[in-house]
Structure formats: structure tokens, C-alpha cells
Structure 1
Amino acid sequence: MSDPVALRSRAEHLAAPFPPLLAGARHLAASVVLGSHGRRRPGQGDEFWQYRPAVQGDEARNIDWRRSGRSDAHFIRQMEWQAAQSVTLWVDPSASMRFASSSNIPEKGARAAELGLALSILLNQAGERVGLMGHDLPARTGEVQLMRMAEALDRAEPGGEYGAPEAREMPSRSRAVFVSDFLGDLGPARKALTEAADRGVSGVLIQVLDPQEEAFPFDGRTIFESMGGTIRYETLKARDLRDRYLERLAERKAELEHLCRTTGWQYSVHHTDHSASGILLWAWAALERVV
């Protein structure tokens, strides 16, 4: 029998390159059952999409004679376009994302990282190129790319109280995914989405919130302090702030939704006390809609 201590040491050394985040993301990705990944439009691919009536200019070799033989018209057999595309992710690494109101639910940043990586796994399985903003990881395919993304997300250091994406890291006419609480200044996010739209980049924006941030369950004397410690506010009547806070939060959501609608992006809110499978499935479907 091997020395148990030595065996454990070798096992830990073997497992070291595989961040726990990657294991969690793979488990999350496996919980979502998906079909083949297409572009829902005609083009090069292996999957049949639809028949269309032949028109003047179509070559005879493209006519499906078997289908045409069942009617008085000629039909062209179209395949679903399945060319690989680039999808660049931005997962907010800021201090604000380290918040969790309970030990029973994950930090916003942990959930955002797991969600982003799980989506990358699904995209990679579909033959898409995936990349990560802010970590010098342009879009590529393969398991090595996923490993690099997992390591980058796992080791990301907070970069200030609130984060913001950079449109310059997104290739033109590609797709992108932004995951953040979007509780800071919206100016940078608005600029990034506007610039992205100008370059033909479409995408998905997911706002991750803790349930306490949604409910504002505070009463009496309360000290509010930002995760980075640079913002602090004390009040003796927290309950009096609740209506104004909820109104501001609703305005923030409405502004994000409007921004996404005007730039051709998709928007959704995810709460960290909910299962991540639902928002992962939504994000996958939303990426199909923004092609």
C-alpha cells in the first residue's frame, strides 16, 4: 500500500491545475440540456434547417429533387449556418461583487464567475470561440482556453468599488456577455454598450443581485459600508430609506433594460439565492436571439 500522506500529496499536486471554479462551472453546464448549436439562418452547416422555393438564379444542383417531386414547384434544401463566432465575456471583479448577505448563498462575484465560465463551456462545446476581458485572453476555442479563463476568474483581484467593461476588447461584429451588479456609475457601461453597438457587437447583460439588495430589510440604526470601505453612511431610521432605495433600484433596472433594448442587447436580473441553471439557460437562448 502507498503511504496515504504521500498519495494525498500527489493527488493534490495533480488536482492543483484544476480550479474548483472550473469543476463547479462544468457541473452547472451539465445541468442544462441543450440541442445542437446553430445560427437559425441559412448557411454552411451539417444540420437541415428548411426548404425554400427555388427562384431565378438558383443552380440546378442545389434543388432537392425528392422534395420537389412531391409538388409542382422546385425547392432548395437549406442547411443551418453553424460557423464559429467569437463571444467575449466580462465578469465584474470589483469589490462590490464580494458581497453576500448570508453564508448560505454565494457572493455575487462567485456566482457571476461560475455563470460566465459555465456559459463558456457550453459555447466551447458548440464550437464557438470564447474570451475574457481584462485578462489578455482573446477569444479562442479548446480546453486550454477554458482552463486559462478559470484560473483568471479564480485569481481575479478586486479592481475598485465598482467595475466597468471595455468595448475595445470586443472584436467587431462579434458577441459579448457582461455580468455585474451594475450598482455603480452607469456611464462606463452605457459607453461600452453604445460603442459595441456601433461596431456591430450584440450581446447579453446579466445583473447579479443579492436578495438583501432587492428587499432592503433594514430598520432602525444601520451603518451602510461599501465592500471596499470607501463609502460609509449611518442612519438612525433605515426604514425611512426603503421606499427611496427601492425606487432608485427600479429606475436602475429600467435604465439598463432600456439601454439594452436600444443597442440590441438582451437584459435579465439574477438573484444569488436562486438556482444558476435558470439564468444560464436564459443566457444561452438570449445569445441565439442577438446573432
Structure 2
Amino acid sequence: MTDTAPALRHSAEALSGALPPLLVAAEHLANSALPGAHGRRRIGPGAEFWQFRPSHASDAATRIDWRRSARGDDLFVRETEWQAARAVTLWVDTGAAMAFSGDPARETKSARARLLALALGLVLLRGGERVGLAEADLPPRLGRAQAELLTMALATEAATTTEHGAVDLHAAPTGGHVVLFSDFLGDLSAIETALDQAANRAMRGILVQILDPVEEDFPFDGRTRFESMSGHLSYETLRASDLRTDYAARLAARKDHLAGLARQSGWHATTLHTDRPASEGLLWLYHALGEGGR
């Protein structure tokens, strides 16, 4: 394991460990997730007992637990937990653009994306789901050993000279779930192709746009030189503030385009910022995966 892997794992463990209290506060998830591999707290086919509940008029007689019902005058149904593990494939953009941070004291987009991906993976693995990566020859699998492999694969920022990574979902299981982490500020043709392929293979997913607040607010004024993280592009202006309105419009249009792509594919899309608590993003992601169904 690399030198940075233990630190990343510790941070992700801390972040994912904070999820249960957040789920308690989120009413719609309080009864549907647990921190360990103890089922999904959802009614469904399985062997593990979940709870007894009073029977409804629509319940068939074969669903009545007569032993429990014999203790009183009411009839009860025995419910089991859903135990069909999902396959969730994660992809984190390894392009040079993700190494950007507008403040030395703030983590890079890549660091936040990798932390969220690993924390989400750990929570899903604890819940009995299968988790893997799209670009690390790491197909979705269960268990603690998979958590170690995810940690090693996500531990360091990839050294690359390309501005943005190209997503490839050919190894993601048909019918599974996919979570893509990127700033999505580059050419979207590869993303559009991936979403088309995913739709044809009944895959659901989430587009997670990670932005630094500087990229959102464009707080530049006067003479400014802009350079891409790869060094391949540069632009200099004497009046950066004159670009602010057009920049904001183009960024808004990009977000709208991403949201449209997600809707067409039956996916979710969100924008998360590196100056906000990572726990907020993790809760949103877990909720969105829950809404995605099975």
C-alpha cells in the first residue's frame, strides 16, 4: 500500500463512519441503511429476519406468522430483509484538471473525489453491496479485501498530462449502478457515449461534478493569466472581471447540459464543492443510490 493510502483510508473511514447519524437525521433514509453488512433494512426476498408487523387486509394468509400471532389477538406478518447485492462501479477522473485547488489550504478536486468515492465504497461494502472501479481492473466484489484494493487504487492522484480522463464502462456489470466523479469541464463526448452505452445495458448512475469555489465564483479582476493544469492551454487578459458574466453563463449551461444528460438516461446529477463538508456530499450520494432502486 502506498504511503498516502493509510491517510486516505483513515479519512474515508472517518467520513463514512459519520454517515449513520446523518441518516438518522434524514427521515427518508433512517430505516433503510445500516453501517454494517446486516442487510439493507428493506422488505424483500431473503433469509434474514427483519421484523414483525401487524398484518394488512391485502396480506395473503400464507404470510401470517401464526406462532407470533398466537401470543395475542392480532395477526402479524414476518418480514425479511432484501439481500440481493447491487454491483456499484465507481469512476474518478484522473485528468490533470482534477489537481486544481483555488487555495493551498483547500484540498484538490481529485482529493475530494477520491475521498468521496472511497467513503461511499466503504459504506456500500459494509451494507453487503459489491463495489469496484471502472479503470483499475477491479470489478465489483464483496468484502473487506475489496475495501483494501479500493484504498490502494484511490490512494494517490494519478500523474497524467491529459486535461481530463476518459471514462470507459465496458467492464461495469450490465444492470448495475455507476457513480462518475469529475469536474466535467472538458469535452463531454466521452461522457455522452458512456451514458448511451449504460442506457443500452440497463445501468443506472450518478454524475458527480466536483468544483472548487473559485471555479464557481470566478473572483478574478485586472490582469490575469489563466493556465490549464496540464500546461497545454493558457490565456491572458487585462480585465478578467469582464469575463465573469460570460463565464457564469457558460458554467450554468454546462450544468444544465449535465442535468439533461442524466435525465435522459434516468440518472442523477449533482455539483459538490471542495469548500463544503464532505459528509454532505456522501449523504446525498447514498440517498441518490437508494432512490435508484435495485
- Tell me the TM-score range normalised by the shorter chain: 0.7 to 0.9
- Shift in CA distance, 43/209, structure 1 to aligned 2, threshold 3 Å: same
- Shift in CA distance, 42/52, structure 1 to aligned 2, threshold 3 Å: farther
> Could you tell me how far apart the structure 1 residues matched to 2:279 and 2:139 are?
26
For residues 204-252 of structure 1, the C-alpha deviation after alignment (integer angstroms, 9 at most, x for no partner) is 2211000000000111111111000111111112111111110000011
SS at match of 1:254: helix
Q: Is the 8 A contact 1:54 1:75 kept in 2?
A: no
For residues 113-134 of structure 1, the C-alpha deviation after alignment (integer angstroms, 9 at most, x for no partner) is 0110000110111011110111
Normalised by the length of structure 2, the TM-score is: 0.84
> Could you tell me how far apart the structure 2 residues matched to 1:39 and 1:168 are?
31
State the one-letter code of the partner of 2:262: C
1:133 and 2:131 are equivalent in the alignment: no
State the shift of 1:198 in Å: 1.7
For residues 26-65 of structure 1, the C-alpha deviation after alignment (integer angstroms, 9 at most, x for no partner) is 111112215436274532243249655457xx6x543334
Summarize the alignment of residues 56-67 of structure 1 with structure 2, pairs less than 5 Å apart: 61-65=62-66
SS at match of 1:26: helix
Pick one of 182, 190, 198 that aligns with 2:192: 190
**Bigger CA drift: 244-253 or 26-35?**
26-35
1:277 and 2:279 are equivalent in the alignment: yes
**Bigger CA drift: 112-121 or 134-143?**
134-143
State the one-letter code of the partner of 1:98: A
Q: Is the 8 A contact 1:197 1:263 kept in 2?
A: yes
Q: Is the 8 A contact 2:134 2:169 kept in 1?
A: no
1:46 and 2:49 are equivalent in the alignment: yes
> Could you tell me how far apart the structure 2 residues matched to 1:76 and 1:147 are?
40
State the one-letter code of the partner of 1:138: P
**Bigger CA drift: 189-198 or 273-282?**
189-198
- Shift in CA distance, 255/83, structure 1 to aligned 2, threshold 3 Å: same
- Shift in CA distance, 261/77, structure 1 to aligned 2, threshold 3 Å: farther
**Bigger CA drift: 277-286 or 252-261?**
252-261
SS at match of 2:152: helix
What is aligned with 1:118? 119
State the one-letter code of the partner of 1:268: T
Q: Structure 1 residue runs of 4+, over 6 Å off?
A: none
Structure 1, unaligned stretches of length 5 or more?
1-13
**Bigger CA drift: 145-154 or 46-55?**
46-55
What is aligned with 1:204? 206
> Could you tell me how far apart the structure 2 residues matched to 1:70 and 1:77 are?
16
Q: Is the 8 A contact 1:88 1:176 kept in 2?
A: yes
Q: Is the 8 A contact 1:256 1:267 kept in 2?
A: yes
What is aligned with 1:151? 152
Q: Please report the RMSD computed on the Cα atoms of aligned residues, expressed in angstroms.
A: 2.5
Summarize the alignment of residues 3-14 of structure 1 with structure 2, pairs less than 5 Å apart: none
SS at match of 1:139: strand
State the shift of 1:143 in Å: 2.1
What is aligned with 2:237? 235
Q: Is the 8 A contact 2:2 2:155 kept in 1?
A: no
> Could you tell me how far apart the structure 2 residues matched to 1:17 and 1:289 are?
33
Percent identical among aligned pairs is 44
Structure with larger Rg: 1
> Could you tell me how far apart the structure 2 residues matched to 1:40 and 1:254 are?
34
- Shift in CA distance, 151/236, structure 1 to aligned 2, threshold 3 Å: same
State the shift of 1:164 in Å: 2.9
- Alignment length, in residue pairs? 273
> Could you tell me how far apart the structure 2 residues matched to 1:142 and 1:229 are?
41
What is aligned with 1:31? 18
What is aligned with 1:89? 90
1:22 and 2:9 are equivalent in the alignment: yes
Q: Is the 8 A contact 1:176 1:203 kept in 2?
A: yes
- Shift in CA distance, 258/48, structure 1 to aligned 2, threshold 3 Å: farther
Normalised by the length of structure 1, the TM-score is: 0.85
**Bigger CA drift: 225-234 or 258-267?**
258-267
